[in-house]
Every structure is written in structure tokens, then in C-alpha cells.
Amino acid sequence: MTEEQKQTIIEKGKEYFRKVIIPSHISNLNRLKLKSFNINPFLINYLASFLCGNTEPTSLAKALVYPRILGTSLNTSFGQNIQTFISGLEEVIGGASGIEGIDIEFVDQLDGRRKYCQVKSGPQTINKEDIATILGHFKYLLNKSRLDKMGLQIDDLIVGVLYGEKDNLSANYKAIDSHYPVYCGAEFWERVTGDKDFYYRLAKGFGEVVEEENVEGSKLINKKVEEIAREITEKGGL
């Protein structure tokens, strides 16, 4: 893959963050109300004190808002919208697949063979029921290949996990990996681009979007913390 093509993937990724992830993230933050949280009364005061050294309304609000907006909310948004990112790669790496259960097709830059790939966002993002579905799609394509004399090999049917480490793959992914390769994080992106460092270049590009778009995240979060703190005060505490 040329350097121009690799840079195009990075720009597609940045566009995905610019148009999908950032607006969704900010929208999720803006929608937060005190009733949005499933509050554990046995932990919230401890967490506030652990984080801020006291249990004032602002500290309680921080203990609620920070984990949600810096963790679960963003991870959910990334996973739910991942297909938007994948569709942006099609023109660069070889096109979309019209085959059910296959997201993209590309020529593996390490072994030169065409791969039929189902893409997932992270190393913990499939459940037990997904195993049979993925294996079923791959088995069907492999059988069809034999009938049509396409010359597919088992290693040509893969699951590509966009981020994470092989050692952190869930048991569900490992069950699939015992039948078909599961490539994760840097390993997946190296096969797509031929560049062992591309994964880290792409991750850095994602981070640059916030600066380029001048997103003042800390101000937005602080504003929401103040709103939640007022709700806690009006309620008389947690």
C-alpha cells in the first residue's frame, strides 16, 4: 500500500471522528441528567471522596459524570457507529463486500492473498451468540468457494478487530480464532497496510481531531458537572 493510501485511511478516520464520534459524544454529554445515572448509594460518596477528598455536590457530580463521559459513553458510541468508519475505507483498501457476513475485502499486504473480513471494534465486543453467526457465515462462504472453485483457504476468512491486544481478546473471539484467524489492533492494520506502525499513526490521528476542531471538552464537562451538582443540591444529597 502506498503512503498516499495510508494517509487517506488516516484522513477517513479523522473524518469519522469529526462527523460522527465528536457530535455523538457531545450530544450524550448534553443529555445527562441526574436521573440518567443508576446510582449505587453505597459507593457514590466513597468515590466522590476518593476522587476529590470530600462529598460536596460538585464532587458527587464529578464521580458520576467523569466515568460516564470519558468511558462507557464514548466506547458505546464508537462501537455503534463503527460501520460508518469501515464504509469509509472501502474505496482505499479494495471495496465493500457484497457477501453476507463480510464487511470488507482487501489484499493482505503480508501474504498477498485476498481476505474476506468481518470487522469488529474492540477485543471485548462480541457475545457468545455471535460465535455461531460468524462461523456460519464463514463456513457458508468456504463451501461456496469449493463449489465455485474460488480457491479460498481457511486463513482467507478473518475477523479484524480495530483496536486492542491479542492477549486481551475475549473467550468469544478465542473460540472463533480456533477456526479462523482473528487479527487484533496493530496486527490487523499491518495486514491492511503493510506498515507495522500504522495502528499507532491512526490512533494519533484520531487524537489530533480534537485540537483541529477546537473542541473545549473540559469546559463542556465542567458545565455539565455544575448542572448535576445543582440537581444534587436541590434533591438534598444522594
pLDDT in tens, the chain (238 residues): 889 999 999 998 899 889 888 998 999 999 999 999 999 988 999 999 999 999 999 999 999 999 999 887 787 778 777 777 887 777 777 655 667 788 888 999 999 999 999 999 899 889 999 999 999 999 999 988 888 777 889 999 999 999 999 999 999 999 999 999 999 999 999 999 999 999 999 999 988 888 888 778 889 999 999 999 999 999 988 8
Q: What is the pLDDT of residue 96?
A: 57
What is the C-alpha separation between 41 and 53, in angstroms, rounded? 17
**Three cell numbers at 130?**
455471535
What is the C-alpha separation between 222 and 62, in angstroms, rounded? 9
**Three cell numbers at 62?**
464529578
* H/E run at residue 105: strand 104-107
**Three cell numbers at 51?**
476522587
DSSP assignment letter at 72 = I
Using the CB atoms, write b or e for 139-176: b if 16+ within 10 Å. eebbeebeeeeeebeeebbbbbbbbbebeebbebbebb
What is the C-alpha separation between 226 and 232, in angstroms, rounded? 10
DSSP assignment letter at 115 = E
Q: What is the pLDDT of residue 85?
A: 81
Closest residue by Cα to residue 111 from 142, 149, 155, 154 = 155
Angle (CA) 29-31-33 rounded to 5° is 100
